[in-house]
Structure 1
């Protein structure tokens, strides 16, 4: 028999009854039932119940065992007594009657329990991540991640893509975030950068004629942490294709990603035939360029109903042509208590409040019946309704498709300044009224992103998305149109309120590339200096090409039903971008700094 095991802790079945077996694993749970000891033994594969009675030669040692001790047990497989079977476990019909135990690795007192799913402080969980990963949910999430990556690779290769690995040490690139810099010992005073994305390399692969590339790429960005972004590093399904239009990318990648969500989505309905939503429409309808389409609420512009009304706050706002009034429908939300909660929430978000109208059935409303017993139809109440009158309130109700028992909420001002708050309010209403369909995975392409945006701080035009994307209309559009009116062949994938992928058709013409950067304030010499490799490659026959990158971490998070990326990553950093398990970032020795030609100029403490 093998030194440590004849079977895994998930391997025993009724056909093994009567055999001598050997298992090794962790003591998951130990129960004392009147002198009879039950040990749930756990390994990577599952659990097996082991029984030690006082007649067993192993009983004395078994009494000393504690949670998470690693042991080897020998014994006989037998059927569980009638009534004690556990049909929910693969090994639930059998148990091991233990005759011998060997302690392979005793465990100190645990800083957090492995059994159960008790919520512990994040710092404790990350410091003892090796224990945290023994917990069933985390272990399951990490195994799911591996299966998802395997499926991605299989599906990409079946679609004709080839996997290549691009360099990790590269040059600094303006991808929109700070680079992690690596000093060069051989070239003192110079630095490599860890890639924010393999953007330039994958485009160079298209120049080299490889046609379809992908990799599960590590990416590094020195950004502030948040729940949907891991600090430091993350992984993406990175890909590029030659001789393709935007439609070709969609037709190739939509079935691949749909298949992954169907395979691992746990039976949730997955969108078939993803909608294509222009960026401007996503902002005006959902207040977000990554809308959660499981939420059925669609915002609408109701400005005309307030223009010239007696609700002077809104009427005066509309004297500025940049200002608008948006309405958020609230089906079933027509109770004063709910509307007051929404108003208080808005104030907590730094807003003056959230105006509303409540709609009610005149025929059943006690107040109305006292004054007009024969009243019928839908009425409106609340401060806004009282000011604009029943006729305007009714027009709003009909535009939004609301009925008695519903409410409408209003956000006013310049949409460029309030749309994010409006989107958050739409989400809040949908969640609190339980309108969001949790059993769906809702996917959509967000298209027609603006090529440029106005940078108010620097008073200049900036790229709004990926600087390497092709403007719609090409060089002619760059030369003749207002830059802020230009749209790009850029697209995102939105899923349940998260951006899970971003991509574009690339600007592969050197003259168009130079012009695009000139508009954003970068001269041709700057383009040559910063993107010299790609600029040179464009001079020697560049095919039209495009691609995208999908976030592996976010996709797995959504599939696992988690709300935080740390729940699907092996060894994540904390919110301060620290690896408290390994002690990174750490100080280095003077000798190491001297070899690199680096001198520290640290800020003064308290500065």
Structure 2
């Protein structure tokens, strides 16, 4: 037996017991006549003591040869510490070591393996297996495990069945780019790694598995933004014989259960908001409703005053930052520079201050007198001490720009608190969006999303106005889950493919298996998928998903630890009938 206890177990209740422990040497404090060692494992730290008055000369010499991260096994007696450490569970005791065995030596690690490390992100990614020994990383992986357990327990109690779906599937051109896998047995043909098990879970509904879930790896070969991984994990779910309300009830229940487990509080009924309302009030379809700063539209007040920037704009809209009238000109100029960055793209920003003495002043005093500024302040429901910030331009662009500014101010003002949770359903998304470049419609979600029943007639007359029977679950300004009621009628599905520009032959080649399945009694069905990595991060008061993945990729999609992706041997390429040394 390598150990009788872990390094987080022992307390004064174990006093005078003979125990065997194993783990890694974290720190060594050598006073010559006495040596203390912190022994670490996944469960905690236990202090070991070697004492020249109570330990043999040979044992003291063996202890002096130990180094950081050596793997050792010790036998000894539990004794009471004279200098206790209340910060750790084992802080009242220490082990007077009687036998020491080195299981494996270690080189000096490239960074200190402690909660506060001296290792930068790149070096820690390269030696991720060492980084995992640190509590901040280890605890996040344990938290992820516990959340997965709770999800499985909740869904199992709701009669869901976990079913594995294939990882080697057929490539489709819709959505993000697929990762493709050449087939040696079928020269010139390729599998794709799934972006989602979408069609398979619909086939499971046809197969009578009326409640399915899977915690599943998905893959997207897309341009990486900050904190987005090429492989990610979904909680993938589908239900038969349900409508939208049934899906929302089940997964609101699951999310509320997770939130209560973490916060100890009931969240109550989740609020709901239509896509149009979210865009009007917050400028995006995943608003953070932990704080205000809702949009105020000003077209009716500011146009016709000879201020060309506003007169020429499709939309003039702003936010009220409460209590910020004391911002200096330098602080406001910094905000203006921030919105003018290429990532945001605004051409400028107008400000209006409602000073503590009740005086209103602005960056456009030349065009707007005191009475006009007062009307603007009233529209914002502003009070003395507030600062109003206004953007103008194309309606969609300016809402997007102002939304980014709102979120930035939320961060700067400390309004986006990791220990506060504000869930929200966003519903009634557009079904289709027009792409000028391709000259056709694209599905806002995916081609299998059903239009709202009352909007089906619009597919013939005005498809762009049709709303999707779709819903997203938003938490703290992040989309954590999304789904829709599916099309289960083959005629409606065929009409949708037509609208999306598929020829009959293309639709048959790519989705014929699904259309054929619909001929054999497909039930009404709907589903939803959670981004598990992001859900776990947010529930833990964080937004960096990489910290919750055991072996993540960097921002370039590379695994710097194993150096992947990498070239493969010519022999492998030849077996796969792929390009070889510049030849075909």
TM-score range, shorter chain: over 0.9
CA distance in 1, matches of 2:582, 2:422: 48
Please state if 1:477 is matched with 2:457: yes
Write the distance in 1 (CA, Å) between the matches of 2:4 and 2:19.
6
CA distance in 1, matches of 2:427, 2:355: 39
Structure 2 partner of 1:320: none
Find the counterpart in structure 1 of residue 350 from structure 2: 355
Instruction: Please tell me whether the aligned partners of residues 34 and 51 of structure 2 are also in contact (alpha carbons under 8 angstroms).
Output: yes
Of 388, 409, 415, the residue aligned with 1:408 is: 388
Q: Say whether 1:453 aligns with 2:453.
A: no
Aligned to 2:322: 331
Residues in 1 aligned to 2:405 and 2:178: alpha-carbon distance in whole angstroms: 34
Judged with a 3 Å threshold, the aligned counterparts in structure 2 of structure 1 residues 131 and 266 are, in CA distance, closer, same or farther, namely farther
Give the aligned partner of residue 554 of structure 1: 534
How far apart in 2 are the matches of 1:469 and 1:110?
A: 52
- Deviations along 1:412-467, one digit per CA (max 9) or x if unpaired, are 01122222211111112222233334431111111111111121222322222222
* Residue 304 of structure 2 corresponds to residue 296 of structure 1: no
Partner of 1:205 in structure 2? 204
* Aligned counterpart for 1:24 among listed residues 22, 25, 39: 22
Alignment check: 8 A CA contact 2:21 2:73 kept: yes
Contact 1:503 1:548 (8 Å CA) reproduced: yes
Q: Displacement of 1:191 after TM fit?
A: 0.7
Q: Does the C-alpha gap of structure 1 residues 166 and 242 become closer, same or farther in structure 2, counting only changes over 3 Å?
A: same
The answer as to 2:470 corresponding to 1:527 is no
Deviations 1:132-154 (A, max 9, x none): 10111000001111111111000
Deviation at 1:353, TM superposition (A): 2.2
The residue number in structure 2 matching 1:371 is none
Alignment of 1:444-523 (within 5 A): 444-473=424-453, 476-523=456-503
Which sits farther off after the overlay, 199-208 or 381-390? 381-390
- Structure 1 residues 69 and 270: CA distance shift in structure 2, 3 A: farther
Query: How far apart are residue 481 of structure 1 and its match?
Result: 3.4
Cα distance, 1:475 vs structure 2: 8.0
Q: Is the 8 A contact 2:10 2:90 kept in 1?
A: yes
Q: Secondary structure at the match of 1:418?
A: helix
> How far is the alpha carbon of 1:32 from its aligned partner?
3.1
CA drift at 1:545: 0.5
Q: Which stretches in structure 2 are left out of the alignment for 5+ residues?
A: none
Q: TM-score by structure 2 length?
A: 0.95
Q: What does residue range 358-397 of structure 1 map to in structure 2 within 5 Å?
A: 358-362=353-357, 378-397=358-377
Shift of 1:393: 1.6
Aligned to 2:69: 68
Equivalence for 1:284? 280
C-alpha distance 35-315 of structure 1, shift in aligned 2 (>3 A):
farther
Task: Return the offset for 1:123.
Answer: 2.5
For residue 304 of structure 2, the aligned residue among 304, 308, 316 is 308
CA distance in 2, matches of 1:137, 1:162: 33
Q: Which is worse superposed, 525-534 or 433-442? A: 433-442
- 2:455, 2:466 within 8 Å by CA — same for their partners in 1? no
The corresponding residue for 2:379 is: 399
2:251: which partner in 1? 253
Aligned CA distance change for structure 1 residues 119 and 237 (closer, same or farther; 3 Å): farther
**Offset from partner CA, 1:295-344 (integer Å, 9 cap, x none):** 22211211111121243321233xxxxx1111111101112424233222
Q: What CA distance in whole angstroms lies between the structure 2 residues aligned with 1:120 and 1:286?
A: 39
Change (3 A) 1:34 1:175: farther
Please say if residues 471 and 478 of structure 1, whose CA atoms lie closer than 8 Å, have aligned partners that are also in contact: no
* Secondary structure of residue in 2 paired with 1:149: helix
Which secondary structure state, in structure 1, belongs to the residue aligned with residue 28 of structure 2?
Answer: strand
Provide the residue aligned with 2:114 in structure 1.
115
CA contact (8 A) 1:329 1:409 kept: yes
Q: Please identify runs of 4+ aligned residues in structure 1 that moved more than 6 A.
A: none
Aligned to 2:94: 95
The answer to whether the 8 A contact 1:26-1:69 is kept is yes
Measured at CA, do residues 6 and 290 of structure 1 come closer, stay the same or move farther in structure 2, by a change above 3 Å? same
Instruction: Look up the SS of the partner of 1:394 in the other structure.
Output: helix
Deviations 1:45-102 (A, max 9, x none): 1111111122312211212222111111121101112xx2223322121110112211
TM-score of the aligned structures, taking structure 1 as reference length: 0.91
2-side partners of 1:161 and 1:149: how far apart?
15
Classify 1:335/1:459 alpha carbon distance in 2 versus 1 (closer, same or farther; 3 Å): farther
Task: State the partner residue of 1:236.
Answer: 234
- Secondary structure at the residue paired with 1:86? coil
CA separation in 2, counterparts of 1:86 and 1:477?
Answer: 71
Q: Is the 8 A contact 1:475 1:511 kept in 2?
A: no
Cα separation, 2, equivalents of 1:85 and 1:39 = 15
Q: Give the number of equivalent residue pairs.
A: 576
Aligned partners of 1:347, 1:587: CA distance in 2, in Å? Answer: 41
Q: CA deviation at 1:10?
A: 1.2
Q: Report the Cα offset of residue 386 of structure 1.
A: 4.5
Q: Does the 8 A contact of 2:7 with 2:46 survive in 1?
A: yes
Shift of 1:542: 1.2
Match of 2:556 in 1: 576
- CA 1:399–1:438 in 2, change beyond 3 Å: closer, same or farther? farther
Partner deviation per Cα, 1:519-566 (whole Å, 9 max, x = no partner): 121123221111111111111111110001001100111123333221
By how many angstroms is 1:237 displaced?
A: 0.5
Aligned to 1:223: 222
Distance (whole Å) between structure 1 residues aligned to residue 148 and residue 418 of structure 2? 24
Pairwise CA RMSD of aligned residues?
1.9
